[in-house]
Chains A and B, each alone.
Chain A
Amino acid sequence: MIKRNEDIIIQTVTRLLTPFVQLFALYVIAHGHYSPGGGFQGGCILAASFILMAVANDVAFVKRRLPERLTTALISAGVLIYAGIGLACLMLGANFLDYGILHRVLPVDAVKARALATLGVEIGVGITVMAVMVSIFLNLLSAGRHEEGAVE
């Protein structure tokens, strides 16, 4: 159904718009603990940029940039970042995700360590949400075959 179309207006607008969408997503992730936003919303916006690329071109265009093997690795990597920061706090003798204790291993004070660990958790959540959303969309679009995205 969704073949590679040669509409130059849609492809040029997508190519111009995608870097700004991704930059805004990175801003939402990185600025999430000072302003509205965070890992989940930023990951969704980052996935929306890949969905825009898949709609404007085709599934293979996205799969060349974000193959299924990389998507699966990114899903696991985000969960591992989240759980690793939580377990690092547990190892140092505090509760799970009690970031203040991390000032013993980081060269900063407790308040700064709390902000840095929150940023790390947001990055992990954002990576996982982005990879899961792109993977769900590609599977839905191509009925699990990861080809042109087709119906019979």
Chain B
Amino acid sequence: MIWQLDIVILVLVVICAIAAISVKDLLGSAVLLGAYSFLMCLLWTGMGAVDVAFTEAAVGAGISTAFFIAAIYQTTRRTRD
């Protein structure tokens, strides 16, 4: 894999991971986690692990983001306590 592209994707992965746990909005956090999954999918495709990348794209970015958003619909904007 081209090492310049590798470094760019790795920096974006770290930025997405830190942003996903530090952002206050739950919906934004779920979307950032989906972006993190897609970047990891790119990284694994570059390493040649196409099967792992396929699973990450189908489960990590697709299904689990839908699950998170369905769970966020059950929450309210502000805490009760």
Given A37-B54, A40-B55; A48-B63 close (CB under 8 Å): yes
User: Interface of chain B, helix or strand or loop or mixed?
Assistant: helix
How far apart are B39's CB and chain A's nearest CB, in angstroms?
19
The answer to whether A45 and B58 have CB atoms under 8 Å apart is: yes
Q: How far is the CA of A55 from the CA of B66 in the complex (A)?
A: 9
Bound complex: CA A36 to CA B56 (Å): 12
Interface hits, B23-81 → A, CB 8 Å: 50-51, 53-55, 58-59, 62-63, 66-67, 70-71, 73-74, 76
| Cβ A51 vs Cβ B63 within 8 A | yes
| 25 intermolecular pairs with C-beta atoms under 8 Å apart | A2-B73, A36-B50, A36-B54, A38-B51, A40-B55, A41-B54, A41-B55, A41-B58, A44-B59, A44-B62, A44-B63, A48-B58, A48-B62, A51-B66, A55-B66, A133-B63, A136-B67, A137-B66, A140-B71, A140-B74, A141-B70, A143-B74, A149-B70, A149-B73, A151-B73
